Amino acid sequence: MIYLGLTGWVAMVKVRLPRVEWSPVELASRLSRRGIRFNFASGSPDPGLVPLSRIREAVEHVLSEYGTGALAYPGAGGFKGLRVEVARYLRDYLGISVDWRDVIITSGAQHAIKLLAQLLVRRGVRVYVEDPTFYETLAPFRFQGGRVVGIRVTNNGMDIGQLAKAVDEGGVVYTIPSCHNPTGVSMSEESRRELVKLAEERGLVVVEDDPYTILSSNVPRPLRALSSSVIYVGTFSKLLGPGFRVGFVVAPGWLRGSLERLEQHDFSTSTLTQLVVYELLRMGVISEVLDKARSTYKSKLSRLIEALNNYMPGSLQFNPSCGFYALVRLGVNAERLLRTAVKFGLTYVPASRFFIGKGPVDSARLSIGVIKAEDIENGVKLLSRLVKDQY
């Protein structure tokens, strides 16, 4: 009886396992090695922009001020001081007015998306997303049994007209409206207002994933600034470094309590990193690094676009305007080419699985995050040569 029961359990597990796949981002990381000069894969911030000396100062202050308390178990919802500082950050830099109690600290934005998927999605619930979209965020929705529905992306962001036709009643809209990953486009102000109105009319829950607005000065206000019904997900990974694993959710009142209680199950976010980020915000580090970060990423993205137009004309699938990314068509299988490219010190992310259906196998996402500005042109030249060698 025990043996048969165990066999049945193992069989059930094997049915579920195929739903958990390696991401293309992880694939690129695993294939990469020391000596990669042209890193077009990483979504990490430019190492030269990370305020390392200020981080060291904050860490020393936290350990001196809090002692072993900085290493204690965290509480659900997050450290109050950090929640207050995040509310101030949202008001001052993004034009979003919130009560600090509505801010829930998470272990990065991806943790936030996972928690939200657990609360909002059940088998058969429709989750409307941009097509293409960031692959990692699709997994939690699918794992919960959600029915992911792709909505076309244009150079003005998600096609709200197509969304209106696809929506019946209810469901979740997951969107990256600003500096979209992987296309680099932003939703227009008009489309944002249309989305908020549609959500109110059709009973849609909107989840706004917004890592990049803070890094750009030329995008419309976040959706959360237009409607307090929007669930807003943010992170400090692109300014301070992803290793902190500090993100946050701005949750409407009906969701806040459930989100805090669910977060109890994994003990929330590291107390130490919460306190360090709190100190960095209190010290004004964001304002110290922001102008340089905005100008640097704008310049690097312009260099990438210029190089692609010069050496790989017609490869851009969209017109990226901000953020880290551009989506290109290589004309050859992107996963196969990557295995050759890493031998020449170049890496990128194959992007076919960023699409909801069967995406183009020659799609690749290029990032300007960590690559040096002066290496971008030569990196694109090398990629162009590697593509031509495949013909």
* Cis before 140? omega within 30: no
pLDDT exceeds 80 at position 152:
yes
Domain boundary assignment for the chain: 21-43+288-389, 52-283
SS (H, E, C) the chain: CHHHHHHHHHHHHHHHHHHCCCCHHHHHHHHCCCCCCEECCCCCCCHHHCCHHHHHHHHHHHHHHHHHHHHCCCCCCCCHHHHHHHHHHHHHHHCCCCCHHHEEEECHHHHHHHHHHHHHCCCCCEEEEEECCCHHHHHHHHHCCCEEEEEEEECCEECHHHHHHHCCCCCEEEECCCCCCCCCCCCCHHHHHHHHHHHHHHCCEEEEECCCHHHCCCCCCCHHHHCCCCEEEEECHHHHCHHHCCEEEECCHHHHHHHHHHHHHHCCCCHHHHHHHHHHHHCCHHHHHHHHHHHHHHHHHHHHHHHHHHHCCCCECCCCCCCCEEEEECCCCHHHHHHHHHHHCEECEECHHHCCCCCCCCEEEEECCCCCHHHHHHHHHHHHHHHHHCC
pLDDT, tens digit, 9 for 90 and up, residues 274-313: 999 999 999 999 999 999 999 999 999 999 999 999 999 9
pLDDT of residue 4: 46
Superfamily classification of domain 21-43+288-389: Aspartate Aminotransferase, domain 1 (3.90.1150.10)
Distant-in-sequence, close-in-space partners of 339: CB < 8 Å, separation ≥ 6: 31
pLDDT of residue 25: 73
- Residues 321, 219: Cα–Cα separation, whole Å: 9
pLDDT of residue 267: 73
pLDDT of residue 42: 93
Instruction: State phi, psi for 364 to the nearest 5 degrees.
Output: -140, 140
Q: Taking the mean position of all CA atoms in its chain, how far away is CA 150?
A: 17
pLDDT of residue 169: 80
* Average pLDDT of span 136-161: 94
Question: What does each C-alpha distance from 84 to 79, 248, 263, 277 come to in angstroms?
Answer: 9, 12, 19, 12
pLDDT exceeds 70 at position 181:
yes
pLDDT exceeds 90 at position 7:
no
Among the ranges given (14-18, 74-78, 173-177), the one the predictor scored with the smallest mean pLDDT:
14-18
pLDDT of residue 3: 44
* Average pLDDT of span 19-26: 65
pLDDT exceeds 60 at position 5:
no
Q: Which CATH number fits domain 52-283: 3.60.15.10, 3.30.70.1400, 3.40.50.720, 3.40.640.10?
A: 3.40.640.10
pLDDT, tens digit, 9 for 90 and up, residues 49-96: 999 999 999 999 999 999 999 999 888 899 999 999 999 999 999 999
pLDDT of residue 32: 65
Among the ranges given (46-60, 95-109, 164-178, 257-271), the one the predictor scored with the smallest mean pLDDT:
257-271
Q: Work out the percent of the chain whose per-residue pLDDT is above 70.
A: 92
Q: What is the mean pLDDT of the chain?
A: 92
* Average pLDDT of span 89-105: 96
pLDDT exceeds 80 at position 135:
yes
